[in-house]
Amino acid sequence: MFASLPPGIIMLLGACAVPFIPHVSRQLWMLVMIGLSAWGLSTGEGIHAIWHVMGYELILYRADALTLPFGIIFHLAAALNVIYSWHDQKWQEHTASLSYAGAAIAALHAGDLITLFIWWEATAITSVFLILASNTERARKASMRYLIFQVTSGVLLLCGAAILAANGQSILFEKMELGSLASWFIFIALGIKAAFPFLNGWLQDAYPEATPTGTVALSAFTTKLAIYALARAFPGTEYLIWIGASMTALPVFFAVIENDLRRVLAFSLNNQLGFMVVAVGIGSELAINGAVAHAFVHIIYKALLFMSMGAVLHQVGTIKASALGGLYRQMPFTMVCCVIGAMSISAFPLFSGFVAKSLTMSALGDTGIVWAYFVLLFASAGVLEHSGIKIPYF
C-alpha cells in the first residue's frame, strides 16, 4: 500500500498528526513516517503514478537512477534531523520540518513541470516556518525575504511551463535546451533555488537566522533539490560552468571575514553548490556522478557542521567566533564531530568530500577548461581556510 504512494506524500500526511501527539511519541511517529516513505523507493525504476486532469498527464511518481540517490539521502537527512531535534518540544517546528522534507522528496519524483511546481512551492511555504521559529525580529525579516525569493522561483517555473503548454509543447520534466523564453524562465527558477550569483542573498540571510535544528533541515533540501533539477533539465549547459565557477570563488572572501560561524557555513554552502553546478555544466557521465556524489555527501557533512554549531549555540548562547574558545574541554564529542565535518568539507584524503570533489575535478580536467580548474582549486583552498581551519579553531 505505502510502496504505491509517491515518496514524501506519507510524510506530508503524517505531519498533519504531529501537533496532536505527545513529545516522545511524536518523534517516534515522525521516524515511522519517514521509514514508510523510504519504503516507496523500493518500487524500482519507472512511472508509478499518473493523474489525468484537464487534458494533461501529470506524472506524480517517476523513479530512475537520478532520483534514487537523492531520495535515499533526503530520507536519511530527515531521519537524522528528527534525532537531532529530539530535545525540542515545539510541535510547530517538527510539523514544518517533516512536511518540508516530504515536499522536497515528492518534488524529486515529479515527472512533469506542473507537479514539480506544486511541490516546489510547498518546500518554500513549509520551510519558512523553520526560520520564523526563532521568533526574533531578524528572523522575521529574513523569512519574508526568503519567502519572496522562493515564491518568485516557483512563479517563474510555472510561467515556463505555461508557455510550453500554450505552444503545444511537452510539459514533461526532462532535458531541455536553453534558447526559448520558456527554457530561460525555468533555468532562472532553478537558479534562484540553487543560489546562483546575485540570486543567492536569501541563503546567507535566512539560514543563520533559523533555529539550530531548523538550520540543519534547511541545509539539506532546498538547494540540493535545485541541483537535482539542474542535472535533470540542463546537463551539459556550458553557462553553468561559468556560473558554478563564480559560485565557488566569490563566497570564499565573505566567509573568511565573517564572525558568525553559522553564517560562515552558509557562505561555504554556496561555495560547495558551485562545484555541483560546474559538474552539471560539464554534463559528462563522470561529471554528473560527481555532482550527485557531492550533493549526497555534502548533505551529511554540512549537516554535521551545522549540528556542531547548533550544539555550541545551545550550550553557550552565541556562535560568534570572537566570543568562543576552549570549548573542546567541555564539549569533546562536539569537537570530534566538528573536526570530522571540517576534514570532509576540506576534501581531506580518506574523507567523503575528497572522493566527491575528485570526480568533478577529474571531469573538469578532461574538458581542458584550465581556467575553471584553477578557480575550483583556489576555492578548495578557501574552504580549507574558513571551514577546515577557522571553524574548528574558534
Cβ 87 vs Cβ 106: under 8 Å? no
> DSSP per residue over 199-250, as a string?
S-HHHHHHGGGS-HHHHHHHHHHHHHHHHHHHHHH-TT-THHHHHHHHHHHH
Q: Is the pLDDT of residue 303 over 90?
A: yes
The 8-class DSSP code of residue 109 comes to T
User: Where exactly are the structural domains of the chain?
Assistant: 235-394
| pLDDT at res. 340 | 94
Rg (CA), the chain: 20
What is the tens place of the pLDDT at every residue in 111-162? 999 999 999 999 999 999 999 998 899 999 999 999 999 999 999 999 999 9
Query: What confidence score (pLDDT) does residue 55 get?
Result: 75
The percentage of residues in the chain with a pLDDT greater than 90, rounded to a whole number, is 70
| For residue 2, pLDDT beyond 80 | no
C-alpha grid cell for residue 82? 528528527
Q: What's the pLDDT at 57?
A: 85
CA 243 to chain centre: 18
Task: Render pLDDT for 196-221 as a digit per residue (tens, 0 to 9).
Answer: 999 888 998 899 999 999 999 999 99
Give the β-pairing of 56-63 and 46-53: antiparallel
CA 63, 359, 380: angle at the middle one, nearest 5? Answer: 120
Residue 49 pLDDT: 83
pLDDT mean over 40-44: 86
pLDDT tens-digit profile of 212-249? Answer: 999 999 999 999 999 999 999 999 999 999 999 999 99
Q: What is the pTM of this model?
A: 0.94
Q: How far apart are CA 34 and CA 101, in angstroms?
A: 9
φ, ψ of residue 46 to 5 degrees: the values are 130, 180
